A and B are shown apart, each in its own frame.
Chain A
Amino acid sequence: MSESLLSVANLRKSFGALLVVDDVTFDVAGGEVLGVMGPNGAGKTTMLNLVSGALAPDGGRVVLAGKDVTRVGVVGRCRRGIGRTHQVPRPFERMSVFENILVGATNGGGTHRGRERYRLANGAIERAGLSGKANRLAGSLPLLDRKRLELARALATAPEILLLDEIAGGLTEPEVQKLVELVLELRASGLGIVWIEHVVHALMATVDRLMALTYGRVIAQGDPQEVMESEELQHAYLGTVAP
């Protein structure tokens, strides 16, 4: 691991009286996958929104490639290399699959001009396995293809940090396998990835480190196996009092 590409320090966010993200700190290096686990409502998605810039934190810092981007909005962070997928895919419904992806390639962090954006878009389409469906209307896609599109579009913005929000949920086993391969491939190409997931074996097959959240707090972080076996995590999921 070289020095960290994304560095999040003491991130805090509350909605009214409810503290949703409480003092979260983590780092992700290029070519590293950080898995994020935690029960529903643990603040995982809110944390991603704080990193992507969709939400402004109440406290803490987000540093991307050595530059503090805490005050940079979502557009600026996208252009500086943060890509994000949604748990529930949000395609541009009245545009074709190709147009959806082209929009990412044109406006995102990659090259904005000429053929380069077509190259980016085509690459992303191929990687996500959507080649045969480029001209379909995005709104007409079934769930799996919507998930693929979500990923392809984020990749087309040429991110350095990719934030994945439960992208394996609802996929069949062979599809999860393909996704795992793709994530490994992206990791090998130098991307830093933060992956929120409930499909545990997919996480265990890909992540370098694992972080567990409950009630907005990091309860364990580090070696995936150790975190999985930690009393804190078992307590959070099963609710048993640790012996």
Chain B
Amino acid sequence: MVWVNAVVQGLMLGGLYALFACGLSLMFGVMRTVNLAHGDLSVVAAYGSLALVDSLGWSPFLTLLIVIPGMAIVGLVLQRLVLDRALGISALAPLLATFGLSIALQNLLLQIDSPDSRILPIGSFGIGSWKISGQLSIGWFPLLTLGVAIVVLLGIELFLQRARLGHAMRATRDDPATAQLMGIDSRKIYALAAMLALATVGIAGVFLGMRTTFTPTSGSSYLIFAFEAVVIGGIGSVRGTLAGGIVLGVAQTVGAQINAADPILIGHLVFLTVLVVRPRGLFRSSVLA
């Protein structure tokens, strides 16, 4: 039962990782942009939510109504003002630009707030759970997180598979120059992808902030988990990212059962194993170059 519990907790933790990795996966998948400021942007979303909670007395959940569109606008501005231009310079330039942005955001948050750790208060909901047996319980909040992750990631997957704009996005991903010959404005598609990605970063940031404390510099420590989830699942595949996040979460919680001193280690080992054995990721067929 201890092991079952570890797996169940891992599933739910994995939901959070998947939710968090979604934006990174999308931006890399569509634009080949590695967003090193990904973690910091999620922290910005958490601080944004906190500001609304403090000033208006809203529940953090309610702040999503503002945070999601707000982050989408951040995505639009980021793409148009920074990434589009950086892409025009070289393939490496966006990487450096987001690295710079990461440092800038951390220091900006330090200026506005303080290095003290914060949390988004959700009261008893955060600690409530169903006790299934003595050793197995399912927390309300982790379960909700997993549910939201599934809805968001499968929703994006469905959008990419079915929607007209989703098709245009996949075509642009495969070959932006040829997509233009089909009448698809790749700049608009990039802007849309960045908005979608940052909207998910907004959701992830708020959920991270409700689950655990954050500081202006916690973003970069989260970033590694997003990378691992994306790589395990297969770069550029949204469905893969969901699976990758869950594999990472389960590896960590099962790892904690094996070696309580360093649960993260097992997660890293799984990641490294995948990187060596299946560098294309677990959930992507080899046909898809």
Contacts from A to B (Cβ < 8 Å): 52, 54, 73-75, 78-79, 83-84, 86, 90-95, 99-100, 102-104, 106-109, 137, 139-140, 153-154, 157
Task: Give, as a whole number of angstroms, the nearest-CB distance from A173 to chain B.
Answer: 29
Residues of B within 8 A of A (CB): 164, 167-168, 170-171, 173-175, 177-185, 287-289
Cβ-defined partner of B180 (8 Å) among A78, A102, A137: A78
Most buried by B among A52, A73, A78, A79: A78
Q: How far is the CB of A143 from chain B (nearest CB, A)?
A: 16
Given contacts A92-B178, A93-B288, A139-B287, contact A75 B183 (CB under 8 A): yes
Distance in Å from the Cβ of B239 to the closest Cβ of chain A?
13
Given A75-B183, A93-B288, A99–B167 Cβ distance below 8 Å?
yes
In the assembly, what is the distance between CA of A90 and CA of B174, in Å?
A: 9
Contact across chains for B179 and A92 when beta carbons are under 8 A apart: yes
9 tightest A-B CB contacts, nearest first: A107-B183, A92-B174, A78-B183, A108-B183, A74-B180, A104-B182, A103-B171, A90-B178, A92-B171
B288: chain A residues at CB < 8 Å are 93-94, 137, 139
Are B182 and A108 closer than 8 Å at their CB atoms?
yes
Contacts of A104 in B (CB 8 A): 182-183
Given contacts A90-B178, A93-B289, A95-B167, 18 further A-B contacts (CB under 8 A): A52-B181, A54-B181, A75-B184, A79-B183, A90-B177, A91-B174, A92-B179, A94-B170, A94-B289, A103-B168, A103-B171, A104-B183, A106-B167, A107-B168, A108-B182, A140-B287, A154-B181, A157-B182
Report the minimal beta-carbon distance from A120 to chain B, rounded to whole angstroms. 12
Please indicate the chain A residues that have their CB under 8 angstroms from the CB of B182 in the complex: 78, 103-104, 107-108, 153, 157
